[in-house]
């Protein structure tokens, strides 16, 4: 490396001095020495930036549930594939001990950080957060030269929040998708969009089925974004202000059916949205009862059963299909089983509580009626696309 002497200091300094120093070597004052320091620091910064201007990236992954595992798997496979050249190193930040992401990281011996204790000494190029559920601190975001990317299973700005897939099903959306965005501090799901793909929601799809599909779609989009990261960031777009909606966490309060208000279609969507995690519920004879094995909208022949009432909550046992039929706002829905103290098939519930021989012993107008559970704050979820008031990615 070419060098020259600053005579009044009597020391050899590396090239990188200002032009005035070359012209006036005898006038190296304090101002010039400060310039030397800044020049060296800028050169160091440029060197670091150049080394991280393209893959392979040093990635810090934040995640918790099964939806997040799909993206973590793909990052892990890419790290171990020397021909891919996208992921150079991979470390994981997770929450509880039973989180699927933590189990995967431990099983495959990936370096693990336990939130909120995140060690940034290793230096990372970019972060990835998928279904994490916690706001990431600003200092962590700023520590990543390319920020932190989020795989979000909706077409943002629609369904911002922790449960976009559940709300997609519950509201009967025909189209959804996946968004790759950069996160911003202090607020969820408001950052600029790097990539977005549409996905048509299959008819009668459950939240679990849709989540599994979008997890795969999102993981592939993530890898594509990382392959072209500088370009995607340069062309990022802010989210539009129009069309924003919030997707809060699901709650057990959502599972209560209001027979007078909920339609057959709404109950069907509610079951497909939350039924695999939270059983639908109603009240019977002053006690809560869980409604299991939903079969959808059912047709009832009133000529064959003229005694049936059209009162919402009315219960009828259909012997030929072994189904409990319940009257709702605009028709009848069916369930193959209930849980009342224990699991009972429709026939067992009928024989034990609704059969004529039982009714004769304890006649009551409410015996063949499921009551809607109501309180000052009704269970969230109303028909006709009314807003939900309840409180992961799903």
pLDDT of 5 reads 36
Between 50 and 257, where is the model more confident?
257
Taking the C-alpha atoms of residue 322 and residue 335, their distance in angstroms, rounded to an integer, is 9
Long-range contacts, 77-84 (Cβ 8 Å, 24+): 78/223
With contact defined as beta carbons under 8 Å apart, do 260 and 283 qualify? no
Give residue 201's pLDDT: 98
Rounded Cα distance between 69 and 108, Å, is: 12
Place of tokens 């800028």: 42
- Give the whole-angstrom CA distance, residue 314 versus residue 303: 17
**Can you give the pLDDT at residue 52?**
59
pLDDT for 368: 78
Instruction: Answer positive or negative: Cα dihedral of 98, 100, 101, 107.
Output: positive
Q: Could you read off the pLDDT of 210-256 as tens digits, one per residue?
A: 999 999 999 999 999 999 999 999 999 999 999 999 999 999 999 99
* Cis peptide bond prior to 327, omega within 30° of 0: no
Helices (H) and strands (E) in the chain, counts: 11, 15
- The answer, yes or no, to whether residue 22 has pLDDT greater than 60, is no
Residue partners of 296: CB distance under 8 A and separation at least 6: 264, 268, 333, 334
Residue 17 banded pLDDT, cuts 50, 70, 90? very low
Residue 341 phi, psi dihedral angles, 5° rounding: 75, -40
Average pLDDT, integer, range 107-127: 94
Question: For residue 200, is pLDDT > 70?
Answer: yes
Q: What is the pLDDT of residue 386?
A: 33
DSSP secondary structure, 295-333, as one string: EEEE---TTT-TT---STTBEEEEGGGTEEEEE-SSSEE
CA atoms in the 13 A half-sphere facing the CB of 365: 2
Give the separation between CA 55 and CA 90, rounded to whole angstroms. 13
198 against 366, higher pLDDT: 198
3-state secondary structure 213-250: HHHHHHHHHHHHHHHCHHHHHHCCECCCCCCCCECCCC
58-77, pLDDT tens digit by residue?
Answer: 999 999 999 999 999 999 99
Long-range contact list for 109-113, CB < 8 A, 24+ apart?
110/76, 113/60
Q: Using 50, 70 and 90 to split pLDDT, how confident is the model at 112?
A: very high
Of 132, 53, 52, whose CA–CA distance to 96 is shortest? 132
Would you say how long the chain is, in residues?
394
Distance between CA 124 and CA 184 in Å, rounded?
Answer: 17
% of the chain beyond a pLDDT of 70:
77
Sequence-distant (≥ 6) Cβ neighbours of residue 156 within 8 angstroms: 179, 181, 189, 193, 196, 239
Query: What does residue 78 show for φ and ψ, rounded to 5 degrees?
Result: -65, -40
d(CA 33, CA 46): 20
pLDDT higher than threshold 50 for residue 91: yes
Distance CA 48, CA 101 (A): 31
Using 50, 70 and 90 to split pLDDT, how confident is the model at 262? Answer: very high
Q: Is residue 42 predicted with pLDDT exceeding 70?
A: no
- Reported as a single tens digit per residue, the pLDDT across 341-393 is 999 999 999 998 887 665 555 555 556 789 998 764 344 444 433 333 333 46
Could you report the per-residue pLDDT of 287-344, keeping only the tens digit for each?
Answer: 999 999 999 999 887 654 455 567 899 999 999 999 999 999 999 999 999 999 999 9
pLDDT recorded at residue 359: 59
């Amino acid at each position: 490396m070419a060098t020259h002497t600053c005579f009044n200091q009597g020391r050899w300094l590396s090239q990188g001095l200002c032009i005035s120093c070359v012209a006036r070597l005898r006038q190296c004052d304090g101002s010039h020495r400060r310039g030397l320091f800044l020049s060296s620091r800028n050169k160091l910064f440029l060197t670091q930036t150049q080394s991280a201007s393209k893959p392979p990236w040093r990635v810090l992954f934040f995640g918790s549930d099964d939806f997040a595992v799909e993206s973590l798997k793909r990052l892990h496979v890419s790290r171990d594939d020397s021909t891919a050249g996208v992921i150079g190193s991979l470390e994981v930040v997770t929450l509880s001990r039973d989180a699927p992401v933590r189990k995967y990281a431990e099983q495959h011996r990936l370096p693990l950080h336990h939130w909120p204790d995140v060690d940034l000494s290793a230096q990372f190029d970019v972060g990835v957060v998928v279904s994490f559920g916690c706001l990431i601190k600003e200092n962590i975001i700023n520590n990543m030269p390319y920020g932190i990317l989020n795989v979000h299973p909706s077409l943002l700005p629609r369904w911002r929040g922790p449960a976009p897939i559940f709300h997609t099903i519950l509201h009967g959306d025909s189209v959804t998708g996946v968004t790759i965005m950069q996160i911003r501090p202090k607020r969820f799901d408001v950052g600029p969009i790097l990539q977005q793909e549409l996905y048509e929601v299959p008819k009668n799809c459950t939240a679990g089925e849709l989540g599994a599909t979008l997890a795969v779609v999102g993981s592939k989009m993530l890898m594509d974004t990382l392959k072209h990261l500088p370009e995607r960031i340069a062309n990022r777009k802010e989210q539009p202000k129009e069309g924003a909606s919030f997707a809060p966490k699901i709650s057990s309060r959502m599972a209560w059916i209001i027979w007078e208000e909920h339609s057959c279609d709404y109950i069907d969507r509610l079951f497909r949205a939350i039924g695999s995690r939270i059983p639908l519920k109603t009240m019977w004879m002053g006690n809560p009862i869980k409604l299991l094995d939903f079969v959808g909208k059912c047709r009832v022949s009133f000529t064959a059963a003229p005694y049936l009432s059209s009162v919402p909550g009315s219960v009828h046992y259909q012997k030929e299909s072994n189904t409990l039929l319940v009257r709702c706002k605009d028709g009848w829905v069916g369930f193959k089983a209930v849980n009342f103290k224990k699991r009972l098939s429709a026939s067992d519930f009928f024989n034990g509580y609704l059969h004529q021989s039982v009714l004769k012993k304890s006649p009551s107008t409410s015996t063949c009626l499921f009551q809607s559970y109501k309180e000052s704050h009704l269970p969230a979820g109303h028909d006709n696309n009314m807003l939900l008031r309840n409180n992961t990615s799903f």
